[in-house]
Structure 1
Amino acid sequence: MRYSICYTPSARDPLSLAASSWLGRSVYSGEAVEHPEGIGLSQSEIAFHTALPRRNGFHACLKAPFRLHPDVSEAMLLRELMHFAGVVEPFALPALEVGRLGDHCGLMLSHHSLQLDQLASLVVQNFDQFRAPLTEAEIDRMAPERLSAPQFANLYRWGDPHVLDEYRFYLPLTGPLSLRDRERVQKATSSYFSTYLAQPPVFSNLALFVEREQGAPLVVHSLHPMGRVSARKIA
């Protein structure tokens, strides 16, 4: 069993529903969803290009999947996450846009958000007490020889190379794309999501994801609204 702390829109958010159809799976129910039609890609092409992010589900990772430390429990993690979310105010993200990270396609911020960077750093540091140390096999799977010096240091300190100054907010929509497919797939993806990206999203929940067994699809375990405790203090 592994846990991860992420951003994902609420289950009924139009962007969440659109992403479920694009990826072919709801990250809330875990059930299969039919791919869209008439966007310049066949359903079989979409299924092929989304195979990798389909398992992970629609989310931007804040705290990478981790096994619980032997000294803590799921109940303790949930209690801390509810408290943490309750004292962090919701905030508007910059507009999202379809872009590429390497040879993958996904949703990215149109410009930098210091507020998001600060929240991501707080999540990584605050919840590290719940993370069991990585095994040598887990470290090897991350190909540490390919990492930069800061990423290598992050891997050994925080269990994830892409945190703190190396963090990038990103919601994957495809697996790796060949040069032949890249432009066509990105164009179809941009066309499909354009309606749902008209308004900048609000970061108002922290989602706890769970991988129930190794290789199993990630699903939302629980959604934790932000700002409730703060709102009660103001009232």
Structure 2
Amino acid sequence: MTGFPRYAIYFAAGADNALSRFGAELLGYDAYSGDEISFPQDALRIASDWRDITADPRKYGYHGTLKAPMALAPGKTEAELVAACATFAGKPRPVPVIRPVVDSISGFIAVIPAEPVDALQQLAADCVRDFDSFRSPLTAEDRARRKPERLSEPQREYLDRWGYPYVMEEFRFHMTLTGRLDANRRGPILEMLRERFATLKLDALAVDRIALFKQDDAKARFRIIGEWTLGR
């Protein structure tokens, strides 16, 4: 069984950022404060089962994955991981800027880049590599849970090498808003989410920070325990 606690390196836009509030309201959970939040009425009108629709992403908090959840490798400590996050963020690098849109990806709905951004792909690849020494080795159970028989050959290789299949050129940045939806339900929900997102008037989003998320046990939600602005 996967060890706990688990940690992940994610992008989160900032506790007071309008995008963070947008995501937290829709998921019903704020990963900064750990508080539950009432769902917006327009979401409940479009889907009375909104709590169920958002159950999976709620567990993780509103984020964009850079380094997938991991238990710490033997001998590694949380304090060392926190220090590594600060060191990583302090290295000068181009700060990715995306044009965010709401769209469907693999059956769920998320905020994604309208077009690929090389600096974002590089940031994610750097996170995968630089924090991998903190990752506990993949167990047979964890590997089976990823259903490797359904993955492409490169994805299986990445799963075995990095503990997660969607890295490097397989990486697609996304900030998830729903679980997977049947095609007949997706349209009205996508339209509602696009209308809500349009009110933010967010034409550009700088992926300018990393956040350390922690999950204490299998029943717990991920919570932000540290955040660092990227060096420019």
Q: Same fold (TM over 0.5)?
A: yes
Report the CA distance between 1:122 and its aligned residue: 0.7
Residues 220 and 40 of structure 1: CA distance in aligned 2, closer, same or farther (over 3 Å): closer
Q: Tell me the residue number matched to 1:97.
A: 101
Unaligned 5+ residue runs, structure 1?
Answer: 231-235
Q: Tell me the residue number matched to 1:233.
A: none
Q: Distance in 2 between matches of 1:90 and 1:9?
A: 17
Q: Tell me the residue number matched to 2:183.
A: 179
2:125 aligns with one of 108, 121, 126: 121
Q: Tell me the residue number matched to 1:48.
A: 52
Task: Indicate yes or no: 2:162 matched with 1:153.
Answer: no
Cα offsets for 1:136-180 (capped at 9, x unmatched): 111111111110000000000000000011100011100111222
Cα offsets for 1:53-88 (capped at 9, x unmatched): 111110011111011111211111111110110113
Provide the TM-score with structure 1 as the length reference: 0.92
Task: Indicate yes or no: 2:14 matched with 1:15.
Answer: no
Report the CA distance between 1:15 and its aligned residue: 0.9
**Aligned CA-pair RMSD:** 1.6
Q: Which amino acid aligns with 2:64?
A: A
2:44–2:50 contact (8 Å) kept in structure 1: no
1:90–1:203 contact (8 Å) kept in structure 2: no
User: Residue 41 of structure 1 aligns to a residue in which SS?
Assistant: helix
Q: Distance in 1 between matches of 2:51 and 2:94?
A: 34
Q: Distance in 2 between matches of 1:15 and 1:77?
A: 26
Q: Tell me the residue number matched to 2:173.
A: 169
Cα offsets for 1:101-134 (capped at 9, x unmatched): 1211111101110001111111100111111101
2:29 aligns with one of 25, 35, 40: 25
Q: Distance in 1 between matches of 2:127 and 2:40?
A: 34
User: Which moves more between the two structures, 79-88 or 113-122?
Assistant: 79-88
Q: Distance in 2 between matches of 1:178 and 1:43?
A: 13
User: Which moves more between the two structures, 121-130 or 43-52?
Assistant: 43-52
- Kindly, what percent of the aligned residue pairs are identical? 32
1:5–1:61 contact (8 Å) kept in structure 2: yes
Q: Distance in 2 between matches of 1:138 and 1:145?
A: 14
Q: Which amino acid aligns with 1:75?
A: A
Report the CA distance between 1:92 and its aligned residue: 4.5
Report the CA distance between 1:47 and its aligned residue: 2.0
Task: Indicate yes or no: 2:143 matched with 1:139.
Answer: yes
Number of residue-to-residue matches in the alignment:
228
Q: Distance in 1 between matches of 2:209 and 2:203?
A: 17
1:37–1:43 contact (8 Å) kept in structure 2: no
